[in-house]
Structure 1
């Protein structure tokens, strides 16, 4: 496959992702009904995890938080036949899950009914997962779990899916640094496809899918449905391309556009939820992540789509940077920012055939 101008655009976008959070200079406006600026915090930096937990040779989970760190350590110790350490690490995973389950159960009064239901459901599922992980630790220790296949069976697909709900209660310092990773792996997949290295293409797609699964764990409503649909689409795509059954790159372009559009929708939804709770720092980072998702999706959809989304992308990044830096903002400014972003996500969704839309939101406090 020859790299087209559109693919070069995507490649430039991926290569420059680290620079995407640079603030846009603006003339400050006099705010109306403005909240007090948040206390200045060190900016959360984008970073790429270097380790992966691989299940059944096809499911990839990035080592990006305390739970995945313990899981990774457990599997490495198990490979080294250090069952005592492996069991200890699995018990540490269970303890972390128990703690996060308790955190999820603390539904605040300001949450919506759907959020409270999600929090309660997350508590029950993560608490059950913790028990399964504890049982796996005992199985390692008493010799019942002897191979990695046995370990994967003990931590089955349903358990792993429930474990991914931990992303719901992660701090911004955990989820935001990896928000640009799906697009980076999609870009790497295109490069591997050009070299006809189909196994590498499948691996890159599966790594990107790992992040979508985590985001789906903390999403609700249309955003969750869109992410879940993209996970299914990407899983099928990875399996097909690995067999050499994909002829031409258009099917990959569409899948990658859908995935990034789903991410943009999910982050925009989370931004509105955080804003409603006056969690302005979180809302700012969600807006920045939504801008990246929109920009990435538009790049896969073509130059016309990229040009059409550019103003909303730039404006959303500028607003997000302003909010997280603690600078002054006004109700009108924020309302217009949310509206512009939502309209751009919906316009792109219509272009790529997505039926999921960003809901209207009041940008005030």
Structure 2
């Protein structure tokens, strides 16, 4: 039936015709940091009722609101109480860079030149260190078009910032698509040879509360990069077959975390990089499927990146609180960090993370939400 005739028919019986909700991108003040820097929140809505909230501080995702099988819309990422809480907990649901994950040995050597990084007692630099992109306030430009809405965040890291060479121009675009997906597109250029590994550390919980242990995961990965007691990649690639990291079949997350496996014990649960089948080739490859049997919500993660780090919030202890005061306990969320491998600058056999002048770093990850039939 034609839309105008359908509306007329509804009017006859006293019902209003359903109206499409236009896609919209808006901005508003979120708060002021201890440094005095103002932070904005960008709200992105598609024309199907999905919405996402992103902060200019570190590209933090505070909300992803999607429906369950009954149409009930819930935030499915972990959210902290306020800006002060995010400042006190760097990397929580934020962008990661210049180098996501860990670099060992206090730095790296590139083209014969040693670059020292601010590091902890064991010589480990994590997620870009004290000047990580997670801690920077980015410039945001919202947009909307053809049923989708988004925001592009931009930041320029100075040559030498955090110990990394090269002035680095970065843009990260978040788009809420008409297919109920959140797409993140990363782009960067440099004026000197450098290393770069950009990712995002959002924690997902498709139930909207409690732990993720009764939710399921499937990872399309035949291999992983083993870690040592410091949770550092040891530089090898090993098959998942016969290990607790064989998640190629749908697996309850609580069972994965409790697996009697030396790697799982080292991580205190899942805290590992898996090698995405077909990843790292410039095209989106299906990496992870997550589902909540109770609500029916599903999440498919596709990426151009070669790896995906899964982290089951093993260190959470209730000290972090949600906006309504609920404590975030161990297992409250699953971080799905699509990325290059940890410590690649110190392991030449890993896919390269070197970016040179004239090259353009481009990676994309798509988080597509649905409801199981």
- Which has the larger share of strand? 2
What is the TM-score with the length of structure 1 in the denominator? Answer: 0.24
- Which has the larger share of helix? 1
What is the TM-score with the length of structure 2 in the denominator? Answer: 0.23
